[in-house]
């Protein structure tokens, strides 16, 4: 009897101790890091728009060259250039050409670089298959619909000839590069947009919503439209010089404006002397086309990729 | 142990030795007491520490919420925050009126409340007044399984099952793919076990004599349930409902997945809204830079959410304390 009572607290103590030890083990376990292998590193940073391409290529490349680490950051185009012009990074992702001020800063730091166009980012303006009245919208009409403060909620407010039909808007959420680009190209300033549209980070959901709603209007990456062309209707965009519908030709030759733009990587010339960087870029130009389409962009023509290899002195 | 074996070796021990043994035994007991006392003190302190951790966590959360919101409220007045009707911190131009988020949260919570009260109270009445004991023993745990389903599953259930049903009823043109109604219905199902279990406990606690008296006066079973048992158990029922609503207001995954990301101040449940919790998830998982005003909004919204659920919980406790009927 005595001993039973005596033992109880120590059992409780044992359990409590074990719990404490377990909790500590769990807490410490998260901090372990795996370094130690003598691997080389290619540092990439910059635009979140270009990130999916570079990341996909880096993953594929690493499958064959596991000794090369390729951390890809997403500091934004400007943030990426800030690091690039002081020599912090080997490659900078950019959704716009480098600014003069940034190029001057690079020159001041003796950083030479090569600009390489890697893909086209095309947006498409989409409605439902059952929409039989709209084929083309002007950029002004798009702005009147999407600009901050807009209260348009019927198609007949967009254009007099359109029928009396509720207008329902769908688009990517504010974290998306597509949102940044569309608001800049149509509304004049990045992030300037009305906010009362159905927003989703998931393009599948947008496709589903737009397809099922006869009064819908939305936008997302062209490649995503191409994949779901059977369910959706794409609208042409008229910037004032005539209506152009997006396809791989009009996006690639730049005639689908202003909703298509080239995206770039910038390569530090000094880094090009390293074999792993040369290997990575060669792999990039030879293998990125299908990956580019997969992540939602329009790939370059084969000739353009060849031209890039020459530009980089890699063939 | 040692002293006992010593005693066995010397069976014909003298008086002096037995006095010594007694002395040893007493010392042993005293030592054991002392050890027990130390252990008890240690255990008390350990348990006290575990209790303190939960209090400290709450205080820490309140501290962080207040500290981080302070930066936000330096830029945006409290008045604008709680009365503004536009919420666009991630857009240009920015507006910081939290009413659309609060409205979205309350719209979903009210729908969830209606669903859970209807079905939860119905189930509770059935279990306590109608169901035979065996059925009750089987049904109650099954009902409580509903509370154990992961909320992310509920979220996709709302988006991919309930929403299409609503669209076929009201028309796809009127029901937005993300809408408050489907999220509210599913959330109502999720919190229903909370209402039914707690209400049923309160109803079972109503003394048999009250029911018997009503039956003796010729009341039907339904009359007994609605006119005697429910009024007698009302404090428990109301409290369960308030606690369930508080849970609905804080619920995140269902509204994030099924109710949308459009901060609309609307009473139309077929439209897309954004709940407070869903907004916090959107910003904390997104690419909003830490420390910016946009980022601080989530702490302000979190603080408001905390105040709301705290208020509900206090109200629930107050109802129990104030209206509780005690039967002897």
**Residue A220, helix vs strand vs coil:** strand
Distance from CA of B261 to the nearest CA of A (A): 6
pLDDT in tens, B172-199: 778 888 999 999 999 999 999 999 999 9
Task: Taking residues A168-191, report their average pLDDT.
Answer: 88
pLDDT given for residue A249 in this prediction: 86
Together in a domain, B88 and B233? yes
Answer yes or no: is B226 within a domain: yes
For residue B6, pLDDT beyond 60: no
Tokens of A315: 């063939």
Q: Please indicate, yes or no, whether residues B185 and B308 belong to a single structural domain of this protein.
A: yes
- Tell whether B17 is covered by a domain: yes
pLDDT of residue A77: 84
Chain mean pLDDT for chain B: 89
Q: Does A291 score more than 70 pLDDT?
A: yes
Claim to verify: residue B98 and residue B64 sit in the same structural domain: no
Average pLDDT score over residue span B93-109:
95
Same domain for B104 and B237?
Answer: yes
Quote the CA–CA distance of A48 and A68 in Å, as a whole number.
22
Give the Cα separation of A110 and A270 in Å (integer). 10
Mean pLDDT of B106-113: 96
Proportion of chain B above pLDDT 90, given as a percent = 72
Same domain, B48 and B100: no
Residue A48's pLDDT is what? 79
In a domain, B116, yes or no: yes
| Digit-coded pLDDT (tens) for A47-56 | 878 888 999 9
DSSP states along A247-297: -HHHHHTT-S-SSEEEEEEEEETTGGGSHHHHHHHHHHHHHHHHHHHHTT-
Task: At A274, give phi and psi (nearest 5°).
Answer: -85, 135
pLDDT of residue A33: 39
Residues B126 and B51 in one domain: no
Chain A residues in contact with B92 by the CB 8 A cut-off are 148, 189-193
Question: Residues B163, B292: one domain?
Answer: yes
My answer on whether B199 and B311 are in the same domain is: yes
- CATH number, position B276: 1.10.3720.10
Give the domains, in start order, of chain A with CATH numbers.
Answer: 40-120+262-311 (3.40.190.10), 122-260 (3.40.190.10)
pLDDT at A6: 45
> How many percent of chain A have pLDDT more than 70?
88
Phi and psi torsions of B130, nearest 5°: -105, -45
Q: Is residue B156 part of a domain?
A: yes
Helix, strand or coil, per DSSP, at residue B239: helix
How much is the pLDDT for B1? 43
Tell me which chain B residue has its CA closest to the CA of residue A17: B46
Give the pLDDT confidence score for residue A208 in this predicted structure: 85
Alpha helices (H) in chain B, listed in sequence order:
2-9, 15-75, 78-83, 99-125, 133-145, 151-157, 163-170, 180-204, 208-216, 221-223, 230-232, 234-250, 253-258, 276-285, 293-323
A193 and B92 in contact by Cβ < 8 A? Answer: yes
Please report residues of B whose CB lies closer than 8 A to that of A8: none
The pLDDT assigned to A19 comes to 64
The whole domain housing B155 covers 82-323
Question: A-chain residues within 8 Å CB-CB of B104?
Answer: none
Cα–Cα distance for residue pair B136/A182, rounded to 1 Å: 59
Q: How far is B152 from chain A (nearest CA, A)?
A: 16
Residues B44 and B117 placed together within one structural domain of the fold: no
pLDDT digits (tens, 9 = 90+) for A258-288: 999 889 999 999 999 999 999 999 999 999 9
Say whether both B90 and B48 belong to one domain.
no
Q: Which of residues 153-182 of B touch A (CB under 8 A)?
A: 167, 172-173, 176-178
Domain boundary among B49, B75, B101: B75
Q: Based on the fold, state whether residues B238 and B273 are members of the same structural domain.
A: yes
Q: Does one domain contain both B262 and B137? A: yes
Find, in chain A, the residue whose alpha carbon is nearest to that of B156.
Answer: A205
Q: Do the Cβ atoms of A192 and B262 come within 8 Å?
A: no
Q: Kindly identify which residue of chain A lies nearest to residue B47, measuring between CA atoms.
A: A16
Identify whether B106 is part of a domain: yes
Kindly report, residue by residue over B143-168, the tens digit of the pLDDT. 888 888 999 999 999 999 999 999 99
On whether residue B328 sits in a domain, the answer given is: no
Q: What residues of A are in contact with residue B93 (Cβ under 8 Å)?
A: 148, 192
In a domain, B265, yes or no: yes
Mutate to test the interface with A, among B28, B92, B97, B178 (most CBs of A within 10 A): B92
pLDDT at A161 over 90: yes
Question: Do B203 and B134 form a contact (C-beta atoms < 8 A)?
Answer: no
Per-residue pLDDT band at A110 (split at 50, 70, 90): very high
Q: Is the pLDDT of residue A42 over 80?
A: yes
Contact B255, B277 (CB under 8 A): yes
Measure CB to CB from residue A199 to each of B93, B172, B261 and give the nearest one. B261
Mean pLDDT rounded to a whole number for chain A: 86
Q: CB A199 to CB B262 under 8 A?
A: yes
Q: Of A77, A81, A76, A74, nearest to A104 (Cα)?
A: A81
Among B20, B44, B75, where does a domain finish? B75
Query: Contact B90/A214, CB-based, under 8 Å?
Result: no
How many domains does chain B contain in total?
2
User: Which positions in chain A have a beta carbon within 8 angstroms of at least one beta carbon in chain B?
Assistant: 6, 9-10, 12-13, 16, 48, 74, 148, 166, 168, 173-175, 189-200, 205, 208-209, 212-215
Cα dihedral sign, A188-A192-A195-A201: positive
Yes or no, beta carbons of B261 and A200 under 8 Å apart: yes
What does DSSP assign to residue B149?
S
Output the pTM of the full model.
0.76
Asked if residue B48 lies in contact with residue B55, where contact means CB atoms within 8 angstroms, the answer is no
Cis peptide before B93 (omega within 30 of 0): yes
The pLDDT, as a whole number, for residue B2 is 45
Is-contact A79 A46, C-beta < 8 A? yes
Q: Is this complex's ipTM strictly greater than 0.90? A: no
Q: Which of B75, B93, B121 is the last residue of a domain?
A: B75
- β-bridge partners, A124: A220
Range in A20-29, A54-63, A149-158, A190-199 with the lowest mean pLDDT? A20-29
| pLDDT per position as a tens digit, B8-50 | 555 555 567 788 888 999 999 999 999 999 999 999 999 999 9
pLDDT at A1: 39
Quick: pLDDT tens for B249-265.
Answer: 999 999 999 998 899 89
* pLDDT for B323: 77
Give the pLDDT of residue A265.
95
d(CA B89, CA B91): 6
pLDDT tens digits, B271-309? 999 999 999 998 887 767 778 899 999 999 999 999 999
What CA–CA distance (Å, rounded) separates B319 from A190?
Answer: 51
B258 assigned to some structural domain: yes
């Amino acid at each position: 009897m005595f001993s039973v009572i005596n033992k109880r607290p120590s059992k409780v103590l044992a359990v409590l101790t074990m719990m404490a030890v377990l909790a500590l083990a769990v807490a410490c376990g998260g901090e372990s890091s795996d370094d130690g292998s003598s691997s080389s590193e290619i540092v990439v940073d910059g635009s979140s728009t270009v990130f999916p391409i570079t990341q996909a290529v880096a993953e594929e490349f690493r499958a064959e060259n596991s000794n090369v680490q390729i951390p890809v950051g997403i500091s934004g185009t400007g943030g990426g250039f800030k690091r690039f012009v002081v020599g912090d990074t080997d490659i900078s992702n950019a959704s716009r050409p480098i600014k003069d001020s940034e190029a001057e800063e690079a020159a001041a730091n003796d950083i030479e670089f090569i600009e390489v166009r890697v893909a086209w980012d095309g947006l498409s303006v989409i409605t439902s298959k059952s929409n039989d009245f709209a084929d083309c919208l002007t950029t002004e009409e798009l702005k009147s619909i999407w600009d901050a403060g807009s209260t348009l909620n019927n198609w007949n407010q967009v254009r007099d000839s359109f029928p009396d039909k509720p207008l329902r808007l769908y688009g990517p959420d504010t974290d998306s590069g597509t949102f940044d680009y569309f608001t800049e190209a149509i509304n004049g300033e990045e992030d300037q947009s009305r906010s009362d549209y159905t927003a989703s980070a998931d393009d599948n959901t947008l496709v589903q919503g737009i397809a099922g709603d006869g009064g819908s209007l939305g936008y997302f990456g062209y490649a995503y439209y191409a994949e779901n062309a059977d369910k959706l209707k794409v609208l042409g965009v008229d910037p004032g010089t005539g209506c152009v519908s997006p396809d791989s030709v009009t996006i690639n030759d730049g005639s689908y404006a202003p909703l298509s733009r080239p995206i770039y990587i910038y390569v530090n010339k000094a880094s090009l002397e390293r074999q792993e960087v040369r290997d990575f870029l060669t792999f990039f130009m030879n293998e990125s086309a299908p990956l580019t389409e997969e992540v939602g962009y329009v790939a370059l023509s084969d000739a353009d990729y060849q031209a890039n290899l020459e530009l980089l002195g890699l063939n | 142990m040692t002293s006992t074996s010593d005693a066995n070796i010397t069976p014909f021990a003298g008086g002096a030795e037995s006095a010594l043994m007694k002395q040893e035994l007493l010392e042993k007991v005293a030592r054991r007491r002392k050890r027990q006392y130390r252990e008890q003190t240690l255990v008390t302190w350990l348990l006290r520490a575990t209790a303190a951790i939960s209090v400290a966590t709450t205080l820490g959360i309140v501290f962080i919420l207040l500290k981080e919101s302070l930066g936000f409220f330096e830029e945006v007045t409290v008045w604008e925050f709680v009365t503004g009707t536009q919420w666009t911190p991630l857009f240009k131009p920015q507006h910081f009126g939290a009413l659309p988020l609060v409205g979205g949260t309350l719209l979903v919570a009210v729908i969830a409340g209606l669903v859970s009260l209807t079905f939860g109270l119905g189930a509770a009445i059935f279990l306590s007044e109608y169901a035979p004991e065996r059925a009750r023993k089987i049904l109650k745990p099954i009902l409580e399984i509903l509370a154990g389903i992961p909320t992310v599953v509920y979220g996709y259930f709302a988006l991919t099952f309930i929403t299409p049903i609503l669209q076929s009823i009201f028309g796809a043109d009127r029901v937005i793919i993300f809408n408050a109604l489907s999220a509210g219905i599913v959330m109502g199902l999720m919190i229903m076990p909370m209402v039914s279990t707690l209400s049923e406990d309160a109803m079972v606690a109503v003394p048999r004599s009250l029911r018997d008296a009503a039956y003796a006066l010729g009341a039907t079973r339904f009359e007994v349930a609605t006119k005697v048992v429910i009024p007698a158990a009302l404090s428990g029922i109301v409290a369960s409902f308030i606690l369930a609503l508080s849970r609905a207001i804080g619920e995140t995954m269902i509204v994030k997945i099924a109710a949308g990301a459009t901060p609309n101040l609307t009473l139309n449940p077929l439209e897309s809204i954004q709940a407070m919790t869903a907004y916090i998830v959107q910003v904390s998982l997104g690419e909003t830079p830490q420390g910016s005003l946009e980022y601080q909004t989530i702490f302000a919204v979190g603080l408001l959410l905390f105040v709301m659920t705290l208020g509900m919980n206090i109200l629930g406790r107050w109802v129990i304390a104030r209206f509780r009927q005690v039967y002897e």
